[in-house]
Chain A
Amino acid sequence: MLKSFFKEVGEYCLLMRKTFSRPDNWRMVLKQVPTEMVKLGVDSVGIILIISVFMGVIMTMQVVLNTENPMLPRYTTGLMLRDTYLLEFSSTIMCLLLAGKVGSNIASEIGSMRVSEQIDAMEIMGVNSANYLILPKVLGLVLFMPVLVTFCVALGLLGGAGVAQFTDLITMSDYIYGIQYAFIPFYFTQGVIKSLFFGFIISSVSSFYGYYAYGGALAVGRASTHAVVNSSVIMLLADVVLTKIMLT
């Protein structure tokens, strides 16, 4: 098991070296970046919108209902929601969701190209297939991550504001005061930095499993599952490391 783990790590490193080598044709690779940005990033805005708003609503209600303590100031809800979104939700939780949507998409797309010999066709033409297929996906997702993080934070806080507006659980002024109270701008930067790493992990790990999906349809399915599970686990491990580095 340990041997296969190291073999996989080695293969991943070699694939990344191939991916980040000088492209045969820069124009052809860069031409795909905006397309990938739309496919992997813009097309994920819908799911991010739904989840961020609803989680904002639910978390606001949970915090209000579970912190009914006269010792706690009334602005605690806004403060907790803001910091949770800035520090973890907008980066880690959102990226875990993206690993499911984007990761499986990347692994199945590249995996299908592998089993239908499209990758072999590229290699025989002399094209660096890893570079042509994977690099635009990595660049597209990583470059779009700050937009998704910003979007996620804004929508989550908007969800909380909805609770303040339409229920009597918390007043709008307490909520607004809470989300402005003791704001540390670096928390936002931290979320963005983490999301860049997570974007890289999702796109590269998923591409890796797709690229080595030898066999038929079953192999593509397996690659898709491995991509989601392993990129999620790696992301959580990276989160521990990055949080420790950035918050201490």
Chain B
Amino acid sequence: MIEVKNLHKSFDGKKILEDISAQFLSGKVNQIIGQSGSGKTVLMKSIIGLFRPEEGQVLYDGRNLVDMSGREVKRLRQEVGMLFQGSALFDSLTVLGNVMFPLEMFAKMTRKEMEERAKFCLTRVNLMPEKFGLYPGEISGGMQKRVAIARAIALNPKYLFCDEPNSGLDPVTSLVIDKLIEEITEEYNITTIVNTHDMNSIMETGAHIILIEKGHKAWEGSKDDIFTSDNKSLNDFVFASDLFKNVRKAVNNK
């Protein structure tokens, strides 16, 4: 479990996050949602440790990231996997090479074992073996996301971070990626935090959701609570489109 307590972060005197407290549960897809510029990426990067908060605590199963030495952070990061918005695959390495990279860096395995582990991860994300030798530029965006997930789980992480995993993907592929993240989270009991503003994603996999608005936590709940909540910030965000307004009417009239 990851717990954030009274987190504050500002840039050049401008407050981006103010007094954020939240719990992210293990074995569940925890989502940080909010409009563009609301501070959700800053929150995620502060939790990972790419940004250092001015105040507050980030507890990884009780271990406070903010107080850790460089060496401790490094050790912790080997328990973390991350799926970036643009996949962030290494251009110079093949698909297999990308997944083997963290293993080659840190795992005490023979080359054959590493290859087997990398192939297992790629197969787990439903990637065909004929794609293993291709470079990231030679595969589709959806496949790149799958490779990035395979790379993120290669070292059996305890924590998985996904920054807008559906950006640039069509609705069908987005759904496949969402389901994959959900399955992997439950299968390996990972604490997964997904940063998204994709409504389909929220309604599909949002087991635990935190809404960020102007740097504050505006709402917390699950996807099932969305239709019954009277929180204004949540309603303004979720039911911004006519489609979802109609869905809410239909659900409430049942």
B91 surroundings in chain A (CB, below 8 A): 112-113, 118
A127 touches B105 (CB 8 A): yes
Closest CB in chain A relative to B69 CB, distance in Å: 13
B105 and A117 contact, CB distance less than 8 A: no
A120 and B84 contacting across the interface, CB-CB below 8 Å:
yes
**Alpha-carbon gap, A118 to B91, bound state (A):** 9
In the assembled complex, A126 has its CB within 8 A of some CB on chain B: yes
Question: Does A116 make an interface contact (CB < 8 A)?
Answer: yes
143-169 of chain B: CB within 8 A of chain A: 155, 161
Say yes or no: is A123 at the interface (Cβ < 8 Å to chain B).
yes
- Residues of chain B within 8 A of A24, CB atoms compared: 105-106
| CA A123 to CA B161, docked complex, whole Å | 14
Which B residue sits closest to A32, measured CB to CB?
B92
Contact pick for A28, options B88, B104, B161, CB 8 Å: B104
Give Cα A120–Cα B88 distance, bound, in whole angstroms. Answer: 8
Question: When chains A and B are docked, how far (Å) is the Cα of A116 from the Cα of B92?
Answer: 13
Q: Residue B14 at the A interface, CB < 8 A? A: no
CB <8 Å contact, A124 and B74 = no
Contact yes or no, B82 A25, CB < 8 A: no
Let me know if B105 and A116 touch, CB within 8 A: no
Residue B189 at the A interface, CB < 8 A? no
List A contacts of B85 (CB < 8 A): 117
Question: Any chain B CB within 8 A of the CB of A242?
Answer: no
A24-B75 Cα distance, complex, nearest whole Å: 11
Which residues in B have their C-beta under 8 angstroms from that of A121?
A: 82, 84, 88, 90
Residues of A within 8 A of B88 (CB): 116-118, 120-121
Cα–Cα, bound, A208→B50 (Å) = 19
CB within 8 A of B50: which of A112, A118, A124?
Answer: A124
Total residues of chain A contacting the partner, CB 8 A:
15
Q: Is B78 an interface residue (CB 8 A)?
A: yes
The distance in angstroms between the C-alpha atoms of A24 and B105, with both chains bound, is 7
Most buried by A among B50, B82, B155, B161: B82
Of residues 139 through 167 on chain A, the ones whose CB sits less than 8 Å from some CB of chain B are: none
A118 touches B90 (CB 8 A): yes
Known interface pairs A116-B88, A117-B85, A118-B90; A124-B105 also in contact (CB < 8 Å)? no
Q: For A123, what are the chain B residues with a Cβ–Cβ distance below 8 Å?
A: 50, 77
Q: Which residues of the partner chain A approach B90 to less than 8 Å between Cβ atoms?
A: 113, 118, 121
Docked pose: A222 CA to B86 CA in angstroms = 22
| Cβ A124 vs Cβ B106 within 8 A | no
Residue A1, interface by CB 8 Å: no
The CA-CA distance from A25 to B102 in the complex, in Å, is: 11
Q: Which residues of A contact B80 (CB under 8 A)?
A: 124-126
Q: Tell me the bound Cα distance from A82 to B145 in angstroms.
A: 58
B169 to chain A minimum Cβ distance, whole angstroms, is 17
- Cβ contact within 8 Å between A124 and B75: no
Residues of A within 8 A of B86 (CB): 116-117
CA distance A126 to B48 in the complex (A): 11
In the bound complex, what is the Cα–Cα distance between A9 and B88 (angstroms)? 29
Which residues of A lie under 8 Å from residue B84 when comparing CB positions? 117, 120-121
Q: Are B78 and A126 interface neighbours, CB within 8 A?
A: yes
Which of B50, B89, B102 lies in contact with A125, CB distance below 8 A?
Answer: B102
Interface string of B88-132 (1 = CB under 8 A from A): 111100000000011011100000000000000000000000000
> What is the CB-to-nearest-CB distance from B189 to chain A, in angstroms, rounded to a whole number?
20
Beta-carbon nearest neighbor of A124 in chain B = B82
Q: CA of A126 to CA of B76 in the docked complex: distance in angstroms?
A: 8
Which residues of chain B are within 8 angstroms of A25 by Cβ–Cβ distance? 104-106
Complex contact B75–A126 (CB within 8 A): yes
For the complex formed, measure the closest distance between the CB of B117 and the CB atoms of chain A, giving whole angstroms: 15
| A91 CB, min distance to chain B CBs, angstroms | 31
A residues near B155, Cβ cutoff 8 Å: 125
**Measured CA separation A116–B86 after assembly (Å):** 7
Question: How long is the Cα–Cα vector from A28 to B105 in the complex, in angstroms?
Answer: 7
Ranked 8 nearest A-B pairs via Cβ: A126-B77, A121-B88, A117-B88, A124-B82, A126-B78, A126-B74, A117-B84, A125-B102
11 pairs from A and B in contact (CB 8 Å cutoff): A28-B104, A116-B88, A118-B88, A118-B90, A121-B90, A124-B50, A125-B78, A126-B78, A126-B80, A126-B105, A127-B102
Give chain A's interface residues, CB within 8 Å of chain B. 24-25, 28, 112-113, 116-118, 120-121, 123-127
